[in-house]
Structure 1
Amino acid sequence: MRVLLCSSSDTERAYLYKALSESLNSVEVADNLYYAVYLASHEPFDTVILCAPGADVNDGLGDALASCARLTDAPAIILALTRATPADCARLLRAGADACFVQPWSILEIQERMLALQRGTQATAATPPVRLDPLTRDLVEGTRRVSLTTREYLLVECLLRQASAPVAREQLIRYAWPEKGDVEPSSVNLVVSRLRRKFEAHGARTSIETVNRYGYQLDIEPEAGQSGAQSPQS
């Protein structure tokens, strides 16, 4: 899951970043609400977590909620507040937040709410032929499962967001290596090579094609006998 984390506290930001990353999330960080809104308007995120000391909508929180809600593919917005009353939380939920937690909040509960919000979004969509299981770190094709490492999982997740469409190497690096500022293209190539070997060994219908001088593309071969399906690009 692609997550944008905003907190002005270095300690809080470092703790949440570590916890979210260890749970197979690709995490981008911001240290203020204005930068968080800028990032959310330029990159797609599944969830935005906004940490704030209080629930005063006049300190920029209300504007941030309104700006995120106006995005074309609006992410789920979760608030983690140091202090707030039930009335404060109700007001923020009406303003556009999807969930509101007040200290002492639990990162485990926040992550479960993130997953629940994502399930609610996916419930209205058709069942995908390929999906990722965050609990087991597996790529799932029907009854077939392929075990993935953390880096492989994030790279496949990025490709799945634009299945059957080219994804730039730079975008894959930002998604699968969010904690590193300088990643060589050879690192991406190495992970892709490992994934190709795994897919072939398990007889998976999923394949990763190279897009010359650009990046990679995830293709899914249709099941045998499936009508009206297009063959994957080479």
Structure 2
Amino acid sequence: MRVLLISPARSESAFLGKALRESAHSVQATDDLRDGLYLGSLEPFDTVLVVAIDEHAFKSLDGLLPSFAKLPGSPAVIVIMSAVTARERAKALRAGADACFVTPYSIMELQERMRALRRGAVAAPTDSEAHQTIRLEPATRELVEGKRRICIGKREFLLIECLLRQANLPVPRDELIRYAWPEKESVDPASVNLIVVRLRKKLEEHGFAAQLDTVNRYGYQLRAL
């Protein structure tokens, strides 16, 4: 899942970023609300996670929530607050938040809410999605095709997730790098090639029908047959 994490609190940002990445989410982080709004306008995210546990961040968020709710791709907007009243939480929900958490909170519950909101957003799949025979299982980090299952690594999971968003269409190498290595400014293209080779070997060894093709001088394409 592609997550935009906005947290002025460094300790909270480090904790959430680590927990989300360990669960194979692609996380783009910033410490400024307006920067986050700008990043969200550049490419679609599944979830915008805003940490507003100090008074300044909470006040700044007040007028920006409607804009986050209107970002491309209609991401779920989840706000983490501290020491707020029920009225203030209700106000955030009316302004565009899909869910509010109050510290202390459970990271497990937070991730389950993210998945539930994502499932609701894709309840009516497109024709191409409806005919896909390959899918990812986030809870077990497995690639599934019919009765076949493969356990894959975190980078492999993120790479396949990015490709599945545009199944049967070529995806640029730069886009794959941003998705699978969001925490790094520079990534050697050979790293992508290495993961693709590993994934191809696993698909072949486990008898998957789906194929991972190279698009010369562009990127890769996942053919979900």
TM-score, normalisation: structure 2: 0.92
Match of 1:161 in 2: 165
Is the 8 Å Cα contact of residues 55 and 88 (structure 1) preserved in structure 2? no
Distance 1:61 1:83, change over 3 A: same
Match of 1:30 in 2: 30
Using the TM superposition, give the Cα deviation of residue 162 of structure 1 relative to its aligned residue in structure 2, in angstroms: 1.1
Using the TM superposition, give the Cα deviation of residue 64 of structure 1 relative to its aligned residue in structure 2, in angstroms: 2.5
Is the 8 Å Cα contact of residues 2 and 47 (structure 2) preserved in structure 1? yes
Is the 8 Å Cα contact of residues 41 and 71 (structure 2) preserved in structure 1? yes
Match of 1:216 in 2: 220
2:202 to 198, 203, 211: 198
* Alignment size in residue pairs: 221
Using the TM superposition, give the Cα deviation of residue 219 of structure 1 relative to its aligned residue in structure 2, in angstroms: 0.8
Q: Percent identity?
A: 54
Range with greater deviation from structure 2 (17-26 or 71-80): 71-80
Is the 8 Å Cα contact of residues 164 and 218 (structure 1) preserved in structure 2? yes
CA distance in 1, matches of 2:106, 2:24: 18
Matched position secondary structure for 1:60: helix
The higher relative CO (CA closer than 8 Å, separation ≥ 6) is in 2
Q: Structure 2: where are the runs of 5+ without partners?
A: none
Is the 8 Å Cα contact of residues 55 and 81 (structure 1) preserved in structure 2? no
Q: Structure 1: where are the runs of 5+ without partners?
A: 222-234
Using the TM superposition, give the Cα deviation of residue 123 of structure 1 relative to its aligned residue in structure 2, in angstroms: 2.7
Using the TM superposition, give the Cα deviation of residue 56 of structure 1 relative to its aligned residue in structure 2, in angstroms: 8.2
Matched position secondary structure for 1:20: helix
* Matching of residue 94 in structure 1 with residue 98 in structure 2: no
TM-score, normalisation: structure 1: 0.89
Using the TM superposition, give the Cα deviation of residue 206 of structure 1 relative to its aligned residue in structure 2, in angstroms: 1.2
Distance 1:153 1:4, change over 3 A: same
Q: Alignment RMSD, CA only?
A: 1.7
CA distance in 1, matches of 2:154, 2:69: 31
